[in-house]
């Protein structure tokens, strides 16, 4: 006798069983003991079942989709490697943008993987718990596929080999690292607000669009393909971000001031972090996509404006200091590139001065600021280079206690003055680059007074020694190959030799 | 503000990293030449508090700002100094500490008439 065939479940039933159906109320342990992390921040959740699952994806479907995407991605990577894809990029200077991505961004994907795994265990509501589990896997895949994609460049160019080690130690990589450490050491709702909402929803287009379009414009097919493979995941992550915010705000009116404070904080932190992307867009791409200022207008002023208008029905307002961030979009890329130019000896990628053509582009894109404040700086440095006196800053910079970036940002309204801010906490002085960073410190001084500031750590003797060469060794930075100007670098020599060989073949 | 933390007593257990005693007898001092923003930010040094103020000018400023084209034209008699935002006339023969320079103090100087390459504040 054959058993009667079971009727196949429809998607909705499968989804219900494989997410909500996996949850239970504990009986011999208190729920608060099983889920110890999700109450201490003060966020009040009265009914977890009100969580609207933003994407109805079950784990079995997840494996299937992701497996297909990976097969496609690795097929492209193989063909990129077999066809010597590195020869097809616009110029070897482009590769420095990818160095910044691998050392600065990829380790954050891994950190996100770890923390979403934590949330996938520790959130009481089963809806967000399952969403966090899937995102955790996404982030692990992103880290892994980025490393595989970029590993091809590591065969030919300097600056890639020691990326995880560098991420933990190098002065400017403490900026992305401390950003994520801050989020991961916060409670689960702040982490969701920081990463899922502020970063993945409000600011993500300012990270991914520039890098992936930059890759497309500059002939980097491998990175473009990675971007496509991550795109559908990013759409899911964004949906999670907006759902978390709405859920917190709908659950209890007491949540609004807490959420607002987090939105203010993580918008500002994200804005400072993305200054690295700004400089990449305006200075590091041999073929430019659009200026940072244009990207800010489209993705923050317009898209973000519409978003916050929509959220105003919950009482949420535009992040504090959004107007200052918008003003800084006229300056931040120039100021950041200037930092790296003068500290090229300690940068894990190559630097250069913009060419005449590039300066003309910058003048056109930044009519209010470039010719007045930044062109003269580059012209002075160019004159010094021509005399054989290339400008190096041989002292260490003062860092912001919060964002850890050298305090190189100018006063709102006056680009001729550095904006110094400071405060006292338990009898000690702390310095900040901006009102936004000072506010963040003053809300949580016990946390930020523990900051591991790379410059102070060198002075305390914790970074391999007092000389630059000792510190570079401790960073695993290959002095003379990974750092310094592009002109004269091994990267450039090799690229020029490839170009010369091509010409010989063509003629 | 009340500390929001999972663990009771968190605030009492934390170790602030940049206390003066962690710098082996030195204190951190920041130096900044106003209107010369080709130096991207103020620069930091670990310095003994008993170091004479003159050494700041004659050794550190000379060494680390000396490459700027404006440097050789500085008239040191006219320079305006600020320590932690307060305008002061430092006593060059006295120590940093005696001049009021403490741990993580910011010493700014302005050179009237010299405001960067072609007056651009760079």
Q: What is the pLDDT of residues A167-217, one digit of tens each?
A: 999 999 999 999 999 999 999 999 999 999 999 999 888 988 888 899 999
Q: Cβ of B26 under 8 Å from any chain A Cβ?
A: yes
Q: What does the pLDDT read at residue A137?
A: 95
Q: Hey, which residues 462-501 in chain A have their CB within 8 Å of chain B?
A: none
A151-185 residues labelled b (16+ CB within 10 A) or e (exposed):
ebbbebbbbbebbeebbebbbbbbbbbbbbebbee
**Residue A194 to residue A244: CA distance in whole angstroms:** 11
Is A376 in contact with B10 (Cβ distance < 8 A)?
no
Q: What is the token pair recorded at A197? A: 């909402």
A52, pLDDT greater than 90: no
* Mean pLDDT rounded to a whole number for chain B: 96
Evaluate whether A340 touches A100 at the Cβ level (below 8 Å): no
Q: From the centroid of its chain, how far is CA A144?
A: 16
Locate the chain A residue with the closest alpha carbon to B120.
A373
Q: What does the pLDDT read at residue A257?
A: 98
Q: Cβ of B62 under 8 Å from any chain A Cβ?
A: no
The closest of B102, B94, B110 to A431, measured between CA atoms, is B102
Is A377 in contact with B64 (Cβ distance < 8 A)?
no
Where is pLDDT greater, at B43 or B15? B43
Of B10, B40, B114, which to mutate for an interface test with A (greatest number of A Cβ within 10 Å)?
B40
Is A376 in contact with B42 (Cβ distance < 8 A)?
no
Q: Cβ of A40 under 8 Å from any chain B Cβ?
A: yes
**Range A318-347 average pLDDT:** 98
How many Å lie between the alpha carbon of B49 and the closest alpha carbon of chain A?
A: 15
**How many other C-beta atoms can be found within 10 angstroms of the C-beta atom of residue A343?**
20
Would the CA dihedral through A51, A57, A62, A66 be positive or negative? negative
Locate the chain B residue with the closest alpha carbon to A444.
B3
Please tell me which of the candidates A42, A408, A460 has its beta carbon nearest to residue B40: A408
Q: Cβ of A147 under 8 Å from any chain B Cβ?
A: no
Q: What does the pLDDT read at residue A209?
A: 85
User: 3-class DSSP state for residue A329?
Assistant: coil
Q: What does the pLDDT read at residue A59?
A: 83
Of B13, B18, B68, which to mutate for an interface test with A (greatest number of A Cβ within 10 Å)?
B18
Q: How many residues does chain A have?
A: 507
Q: What does the pLDDT read at residue B1?
A: 61
Is A377 in contact with B122 (Cβ distance < 8 A)?
yes
**How many other C-beta atoms can be found within 10 angstroms of the C-beta atom of residue A255?**
22
Measured between beta carbons, the chain A residues lying within 8 angstroms of B120 are 372-373, 376-377
End-to-end CA distance of chain A: 79
Measured between beta carbons, the chain A residues lying within 8 angstroms of B15 are 450
Cα angle, residue A199 at apex, residues A244 and A110 outer, rounded to 5°: 100
Is A428 in contact with B18 (Cβ distance < 8 A)?
yes
Q: Cβ of A387 under 8 Å from any chain B Cβ?
A: no
**Range A459-477 average pLDDT:** 97
Tokens 């000018």 — which residue? B57
How many Å lie between the alpha carbon of A189 and the closest alpha carbon of chain B?
A: 13
**Residue A207 to residue A360: CA distance in whole angstroms:** 25
The closest of A407, A383, A414, A339 to B68, measured between CA atoms, is A383
Is B120 in contact with A376 (Cβ distance < 8 A)?
yes
Enumerate residues 6+ apart whose C-beta is below 8 A from A15: A53, A56, A58
Bridge partners, residue B45, by sequence: B29
Locate the chain A residue with the closest alpha carbon to B39.
A393
pTM for the whole thing?
0.96
ipTM over 0.95: yes
How many Å lie between the alpha carbon of B91 and the closest alpha carbon of chain A?
A: 23
Please tell me which of the candidates A395, A399, A451 has its beta carbon nearest to residue B17: A451
Q: Cβ of B6 under 8 Å from any chain A Cβ?
A: yes
A371, pLDDT greater than 80: yes
């Amino acid at each position: 006798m054959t058993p009667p065939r079971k009727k196949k479940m429809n998607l909705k039933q499968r989804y219900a069983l494989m997410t909500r159906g996996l949850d239970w109320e504990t009986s011999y342990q208190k729920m608060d003991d099983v889920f110890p992390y999700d109450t201490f921040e003060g966020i009040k959740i009265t009914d977890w079942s009100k969580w609207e699952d933003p994407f109805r994806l079950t784990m079995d479907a997840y494996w299937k989709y992701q497996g297909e995407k990976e097969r496609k991605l690795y097929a492209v990577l193989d063909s990129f490697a077999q066809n010597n894809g590195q020869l097809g990029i616009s110029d070897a200077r482009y590769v420095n943008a990818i160095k910044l991505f691998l050392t600065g961004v990829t380790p954050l994907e891994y950190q996100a993987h770890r923390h979403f795994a934590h949330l996938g265990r520790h959130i009481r509501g089963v809806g967000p718990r399952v969403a966090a589990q899937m995102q955790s896997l996404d982030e692990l895949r992103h880290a892994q596929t980025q490393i595989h994609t970029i590993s091809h460049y590591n065969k030919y160019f300097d600056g890639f080999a020691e990326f995880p080690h560098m991420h933990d130690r190098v002065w400017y990589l403490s900026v992305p690292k401390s950003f994520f450490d801050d989020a991961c050491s916060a409670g689960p709702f702040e982490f969701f607000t920081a990463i899922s909402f502020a970063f993945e929803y409000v600011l993500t287009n300012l990270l991914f669009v520039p890098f992936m379009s930059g890759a497309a414009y500059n002939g980097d097919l491998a990175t473009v393909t990675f971007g496509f493979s991550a795109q559908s995941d990013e759409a899911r992550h964004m949906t999670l971000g907006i759902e978390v915010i709405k859920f917190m705000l709908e659950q209890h009116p007491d949540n609004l001031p807490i959420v607002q404070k987090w939105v203010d904080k993580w918008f500002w932190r994200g804005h400072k972090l993305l200054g690295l992307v700004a400089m990449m867009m305006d200075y590091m791409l041999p073929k430019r996509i659009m200026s940072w200022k244009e990207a800010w207008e489209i993705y923050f002023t317009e898209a973000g404006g519409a978003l916050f208008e929509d959220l105003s029905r919950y009482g949420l307002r535009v992040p504090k200091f959004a107007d200052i961030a918008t003003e800084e979009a006229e300056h931040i890329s120039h100021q950041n590139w200037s930092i790296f130019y003068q500290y090229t000896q300690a940068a894990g990628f190559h630097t250069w001065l913009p060419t005449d053509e590039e300066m003309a582009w910058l003048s056109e894109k930044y009519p209010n600021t470039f010719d007045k404040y930044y062109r003269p700086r580059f012209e002075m440095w160019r004159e010094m280079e021509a005399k054989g006196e290339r400008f190096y800053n041989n002292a260490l910079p003062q860092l912001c206690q919060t964002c850890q970036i050298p305090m190189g940002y100018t006063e709102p309204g006056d680009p001729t003055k550095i904006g110094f801010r400071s405060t006292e906490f338990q009898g000690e002085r702390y310095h900040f680059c901006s009102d936004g960073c000072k506010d963040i410190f003053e809300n949580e001084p016990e946390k930020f007074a523990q900051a591991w500031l790379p410059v102070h750590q060198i002075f305390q003797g914790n970074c391999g020694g007092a000389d630059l060469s000792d510190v570079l060794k401790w960073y695993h930075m290959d002095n003379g190959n990974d750092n310094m100007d592009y002109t004269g670098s091994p990267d450039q020599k090799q690229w020029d030799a490839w170009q010369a060989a091509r010409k010989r073949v063509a003629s | 503000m009340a500390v929001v933390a999972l663990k009771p007593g968190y605030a009492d257990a934390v170790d602030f990293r940049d206390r003066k005693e962690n710098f082996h007898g030195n204190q951190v001092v920041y130096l900044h030449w106003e209107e010369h923003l080709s130096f991207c930010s103020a620069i930091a040094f670990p310095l003994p508090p008993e170091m004479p103020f003159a050494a700041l000018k004659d050794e550190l400023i000379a060494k680390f700002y000396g490459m700027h084209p404006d440097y050789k034209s500085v008239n040191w008699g006219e320079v305006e100094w600020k320590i932690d935002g307060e305008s002061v006339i430092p006593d060059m023969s006295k120590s940093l500490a005696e001049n009021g320079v403490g741990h993580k103090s910011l010493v700014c100087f302005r050179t009237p008439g010299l405001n960067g390459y072609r007056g651009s504040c760079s």
